[in-house]
Amino acid sequence: MSKIASLNELSKLKNKFGPLIQIRQENEKTIITNTDVIDNSFKIHVLACGGTGCQSSESELIVRVFQRELEKRGLANQVKVITTGCFGFCEQGPILKIHPDNVFYIQVSSKDVEEIIDEHLIKGQVVERLLYVEPIHQEKLKTDLPFYNRQLRIALRNCGLIAPEDIREYIALDGYQALGQVLTEHKPEDIIDTIKKSGLRGRGGGGFPTGVKWELTRKSAADQKFIVCNADEGDPGAFMDRSILEGDPHSVLEAMAIAGYVIGASKGYVYIRAEYPLAIKRLQIAIKEAREYGLLGGSILGSEFSFDVELKYGAGAFVCGEETALIHSIEGKRGEPTVKPPFPAENGLWGKPTSVNNVETFANIPPIILKGADWFANIGTEKSKGTKVFALAGKVNNVGLVEVPMGTTLREIIFDIGGGTKENKRFKSAQTGGPSGGCIPAHYLDIPIDYESLASIGSMMGSGGLIVMDEDDCMVNVAKFFLEFTVDESCGRCTACRVGTKRLHEILTKITEGKGTLEDLDKLERLALIIKDTSLCGLGQSAPNPILSTLEYFRDEYLAHILDKKCSAKVCSNLVEYDITDLCCGCTLCARNCPQNCISGSPRNKHVIDNNRCIKCGVCLDNCRFDAVIRK
Amino acid sequence: MSCKNVIVEEKFSELEHFIDELPDKQGDLIAVLHKAQEIFGYLPEEVQLRIADKLDVPSAKVSGVVSFYSFFTMKPRGKHVVNVCTGTACYVRGAEKLLNELNKHFAIKPGETTKDGEFTLDALRCVGACGLAPVMIVDGKVYGRLKPEQVKGILANYR
Ligand SMILES: Cc1cc2nc3c(=O)[nH]c(=O)nc-3n(C[C@H](O)[C@H](O)[C@H](O)COP(=O)(O)O)c2cc1C
Ligand code: SF4
Ligand code: SF4
């Protein structure tokens, strides 16, 4: 491949590569008529989800079996099997989509492949048993799943649609057009204006206006500047950044180059977690391809602008997601945050002005440039524009990635898109913002969510993790879980954060063990406020949020632990008791398995647990085949 | 030189070759440590000293960085590494029970290695396979939607 020398050449390539993805585009009205076409011979495209979730459940094997079986039947030149990034519908993976029929198969296994080929691809008959069954009307759906219908995909526009390891498919879908236009037709100031007008705010958690950040970095005078893409994604339960990098790496690279042009940087870094091997691999391939096509490297698209991207790996420290810590980590140092100001925009990587932006923030840039600031600003709420990707997980039916306009309610996300709670249990709380966020109770389900509304109810947007909890989750224990996380991850610089979070965790442990007092609640509150006020970075400042929000909305649970010594969710093992009911037929199984030998009873007679010696391991409950053992 | 030393020296020369190829040596300390851990399996003091020497940075800086990041370990790891995801999604879907089961099964705590050197048990923060929660990862292979009772059977394949 020779390097693309101009925007014009890029557009010609776009037409040339169009047929690669043509049959995947649902409303394809513009049939590309070009003599220089490639790849037109494939009549059918089979898209296989190749995100981390689906790969864990053998999507790679499915692709291999598909190829083998197609070859056996002499169909390999008519059917193309494409590994895409994450479809987002992770609960139902592995997922396959067949085009042009636009049929969506779920929970596919390698054993289903032959049937799909023989019935669907050859005879044209849909394999009904692999369709998604809509839970309310029990209707089998081939396409138009409610999970997708209510979404608006901007950042995820190409995920599950294109082959992330083939730059041609990205180019065919307007890829690098925004960069081309920016370099050929716009001054950096114009782009700053566009991004400011669009209202785009950082998706990494803080919600700082991206256009303003770029403007500040542009205005800092220096011989060298840097663009950094924050792909550290530390919130345990968020996976949108990883999915974007796995499914559409070029969109991030393109946006980084645009940002480089705008602020005056020739070098960019992606700081990515070492725990994301697939995203790393896809990024490496994308960078190599972009260089070969002249879309990264020297004089991009024939302009005077040069920009290249290098990967830097994290090493398992949550605090490195904080931008100053991240910068230290790129420099090869301990990832400890430093006081702001100075902000990275003035004094960042190696002391040079640096713009740190999140993966999802970047993924929004090309569409904003191609479709205009007004288009973007028309989506969302007054102060939060555009869409947000949420990683919906926990006790919800449709775990997956969901992109919705800002201002969508939690109810729509969890119940309409997410399909409600698992096993129809009672919804208790939605946790947003990860370890820095809070637990939102049911009476706020109808609040339109954006940066401000979440903050006003004691949580935050964070990176977009959204964990659903039901009646079986103990909110004191949840708070303890998050504190365990912050105790582990505090970098130790500030005493309040280092020692304070330990104390909070100890008090929570005491309460969950049934040894808490009412004074402990006051102590929790007081200490939480001190830590918030005196910590240097966002980690410490927000670490008490899970406690403060649960204390506010689920105080009754704290009180039950303290006063009644009861855990209503039956999670805290010290506060539950095991008992054997009259359903017991005396099979002796529990007694034989009890590690404490504290179950007595003779065969065929009801057994009894000696609760003084019981260690509440739950083995008896798990083992009993007659549902005779209960937890109370 | 004993046979063992020859192997160790080969590993060191692989590492040094990697360092020689780096454009910016000092800023790449973390990349070097990643590579070293890949080669040696862990980062004992001896390896850290050699890296400090080669990169011309104080050894205190190297050990400071190693101890800061949880990804780096100074203890040798077992032949197989068993990880349990303890991200929030796995937590609410029962990761703790899995971890307890593994604690019992191996009679070790997270971060420790069995006496025979076969298995290291560890807790990981979110691998992003939340749709499969709770998950256990053995040598990189992900086992999803696990019940504690299934653990024993899976691990038997690694004996
Ligand atoms: C403790 C802590 C962890 C953070 N982790 C991340 C992260 O994993 N990813 C991210 O993009 N931003 C993270 N941030 C926010 C960054 O500091 C920074 O604001 C962000 O990368 C800027 O990009 P944006 O303006 O596009 O959001 C974190 C902040 C704090 C205080
Ligand atoms: S607040 Fe906590 S994590 Fe942040 S710098 Fe201080 S000690 Fe480190
Ligand atoms: S919970 Fe465990 S210790 Fe208690 S009775 Fe049941 S099996 Fe025995």
- We report the CATH number of the domain holding residue A403 as 3.10.20.600
Q: Are A169 and A163 in contact (CB under 8 A)?
A: yes
Strand locations in A325-482, DSSP E?
354-358, 387-394, 400-405, 427-432, 438-441, 465-470
Residues A359, A445 within the same domain = no
Q: Are A479 and A507 in contact (CB under 8 A)?
A: no
* Contacts (Cβ under 8 Å, ≥6 apart) of A293: A1, A3, A4, A167, A171
Structure tokens at A455: 């903050």
Structure tokens at B46: 């001896």
Q: Which residues of B touch A350 (CB under 8 A)?
A: 27
Residues A482, A464 within the same domain = no
* Contacts (Cβ under 8 Å, ≥6 apart) of A454: A432, A433, A437, A440, A460, A461
State the residue range of the domain holding A404: 387-470
A508: in domain: yes
Residues A392, A372 within the same domain = no
Residues A180, A281 within the same domain = yes
Identify the pLDDT of residue B3. Answer: 65
Residues A280, A406 within the same domain = no
Q: How far apart are the CA of A487 and the centre of ligand 2, in A?
A: 10
Pocket flag, ligand 3, residue A278 (CB < 6 Å): no
Ligand 1 closest atom vs CA A489: 1
- Report which bound ligand comes closest to the CA of A597: 3
Cβ within 8 Å, pair A274-B28: no
Helices (H), A513-614: 518-534, 538-542, 545-553, 555-559, 589-593
Identify the pLDDT of residue A206. Answer: 87
Identify the pLDDT of residue A136. Answer: 73
Protein residue closest via CA to atom 5 of ligand 1: A321
Cβ within 8 Å, pair B128-A242: yes
Cβ within 8 Å, pair A332-B86: no
Residues A253, A331 within the same domain = yes
For residue A108, the domain's CATH number is 3.40.30.10
Among the partner residues B65, B125, B141, nearest to A333 by beta-carbon distance: B65
Q: With a threshold of 0.90, tell me whether the complex ipTM lies above it.
A: yes
Q: Pick the last residue of a domain from A448, A470, A492.
A: A470
Nearest partner of A234 among A151, A351, A156, A325, judged by Cα: A325
Cβ within 8 Å, pair B89-A237: yes
Residues A289, A368 within the same domain = yes
Cβ within 8 Å, pair B132-A52: no
Choose, out of B65, B68, B135, the residue to mutate when testing the contact with A (most A CBs < 10 Å).
Answer: B68
Nearest CA in chain A to B134: A394
A517: in domain: yes
For residue A324, the domain's CATH number is 3.40.50.11540
For residue A583, the domain's CATH number is 3.30.70.20
Residues A479, A465 within the same domain = no
Low-confidence residues of chain B: pLDDT under 70? 1-4, 26
Buried b (16+ CB within 10 A) or exposed e, A190-220: ebbebbbbbbbbbbbbbbebbbebbbbbbeb
A238: in domain: yes
Q: Is A58 exposed, middle or buried (0-12, 13-18, 19+ CB in 10 A)?
A: middle
Q: How far apart are the CA of A321 and the centre of ligand 1, in A?
A: 5
Residues A178, A321 within the same domain = yes
Per the listing, tokens 């692709």 go with: A63
Q: Are A431 and A416 in contact (CB under 8 A)?
A: no
CB atoms within 10 A of CB A423: 9
Q: Which residues of A touch B131 (CB under 8 A)?
A: 53, 90-93, 393, 399-400
Low-confidence residues of chain A: pLDDT under 70? 26-41
As separate numbers, helices (DSSP H) first and strands (DSSP E) second, chain A gives 25, 19
Nearest CA in chain A to B137: A56
- Report which bound ligand comes closest to the CA of A335: 2
Q: Which of A578, A580, A589, A631 to mutate to test the pocket of ligand 3 (most atoms within 8 A of CB)?
A: A578
The pTM (predicted TM-score) of the whole model is 0.93
Pocket flag, ligand 2, residue A317 (CB < 6 Å): no
Q: How far apart, in whole angstroms, are the C-alpha atoms of residue B34 and residue A310?
A: 16
Residues A178, A278 within the same domain = yes
Cβ within 8 Å, pair B30-A332: yes
Judging by DSSP bridges, how do beta strands A139-141 and A132-134 pair with one another?
antiparallel
A33: in domain: no
Q: Which residues of B touch A330 (CB under 8 A)?
A: 27
Q: Are A369 and A182 in contact (CB under 8 A)?
A: yes
Q: Pick the last residue of a domain from A349, A377, A405.
A: A377
Cβ within 8 Å, pair B30-A312: yes
A19: in domain: no
Q: CA of B88, closest CA in chain A: separation in Å? A: 5
Per the listing, tokens 């602008």 go with: A305
Residues A275, A419 within the same domain = no
Identify the pLDDT of residue A37. Answer: 43
Q: Which of A213, A215, A230, A536 to mutate to test the pocket of ligand 1 (most atoms within 8 A of CB)?
A: A230
Q: Is the peptide bond before A366 cis (omega within 30 degrees of 0)?
A: no
A38: in domain: no
Q: Which of A503, A539, A541 to mutate to test the pocket of ligand 2 (most atoms within 8 A of CB)?
A: A539
Cβ within 8 Å, pair B128-A400: no
Q: CA of A370, closest CA in chain B: separation in Å? A: 31
Q: Pick the last residue of a domain from A377, A396, A417.
A: A377
Nearest partner of A234 among A22, A538, A508, A511, judged by Cα: A538
Q: How far apart, in whole angstroms, are the C-alpha atoms of residue B87 and residue A312?
A: 23
Residues A366, A415 within the same domain = no
Q: How far apart, in whole angstroms, are the C-alpha atoms of residue A411 and residue B1?
A: 69
Residue A168's SS3 state is: helix
A11: in domain: no
Pocket flag, ligand 2, residue A325 (CB < 6 Å): no
Buried b (16+ CB within 10 A) or exposed e, A150-163: ebebbbbbbbbbbb
Identify the pLDDT of residue A28. Answer: 40
Pocket flag, ligand 3, residue A617 (CB < 6 Å): yes
For residue A552, the domain's CATH number is 1.20.1440.230
Cβ within 8 Å, pair A274-B91: no
Among the partner residues A236, A317, A469, nearest to B126 by beta-carbon distance: A236
Q: How far apart are the CA of A230 and the centre of ligand 1, in A?
A: 7
Identify the pLDDT of residue B27. Answer: 78
Nearest CA in chain B to A311: B31
Among the partner residues A242, A243, A317, nearest to B68 by beta-carbon distance: A317
Pocket flag, ligand 1, residue A232 (CB < 6 Å): yes
Number of folded domains that form chain A: 5
Q: How far apart, in whole angstroms, are the C-alpha atoms of residue A93 and residue A107?
A: 5
Backbone angles phi, psi at A318, to 5 degrees: -60, -40
Q: How far apart, in whole angstroms, are the C-alpha atoms of residue A555 and residue A479?
A: 12
Q: Which of A318, A323, A336, A533 to mutate to test the pocket of ligand 2 (most atoms within 8 A of CB)?
A: A336
Pocket flag, ligand 1, residue A358 (CB < 6 Å): yes
A31: in domain: no
Q: How far apart are the CA of B85 and the centre of ligand 2, in A?
A: 24
